Amino acid sequence: MASLYDLVFSPAIDGVYERIARQVVEATPSGKILDVGCGPGRLAIHLVQETPGVTVTGVDISPDMIALARRRAQESDLTDRLDFQVADVGALPFPDNAFDLVVSTLSLHHWPDPVRGLAEIRRVLKPTGQAYIYDVADWIFRLTHHGVPQATILAKAPFAFEPIEAVWSVGSVPIVTGFRLGR
């Protein structure tokens, strides 16, 4: 399934990954970035290609996705600034205050407990760190979380957050939204 996802879905949103990478590196031109739900590693590679001042650790719950990400990093000759690990957002294997920025793209709607995942993200962020979360638009998200709006989940999470913004729309219908979270 990971190979099919990478073949079909990932290239279709590469432009979104490029846009997100630019936003992330503007906020963090150097330091350590954690990519939660990194899938086959496309965003992580965009991040290290955009700026030489960052290192990126990608985590995904799928060993097959991590294998694809590691292969992609080796093919890109970027393994010195990229690391990929199998991990669950609900129990991140990192110490407190380890990352300058956390990014997650199209992963939140898969998390069984989004509030716990966001609490873990906050835990691993440095005190001045930010999290950039991009996921399916709220109208799609509600289908995966029994009608619970993203704003309700964000209100329960241990973050201050900026308004949700449309990142990718078809006409006037948002498909992907993003929000920035600060400690």
Residue extents of the structural domains in the chain: 2-182
pLDDT in tens, 114-171: 999 999 999 999 999 999 999 988 898 888 877 889 888 888 988 877 767 877 777 8
pLDDT computed for residue 181 by the predictor: 85
Q: Each residue of 64-91: pLDDT tens digit? A: 999 999 999 999 988 999 999 999 999 9
Higher pLDDT, 152 or 5: 152
Least confident of 11-15, 63-67, 84-88, 177-181: 11-15
What single letter denotes the amino acid at residue 15? G
The domain made up of 2-182 has a fold known as Rossmann fold (3.40.50)
Residue 38 has pLDDT above 80, yes or no: yes
One DSSP character per residue, 137-165 reads -HHHHHHHTTT--HHHHHHHSSSEEPPPE
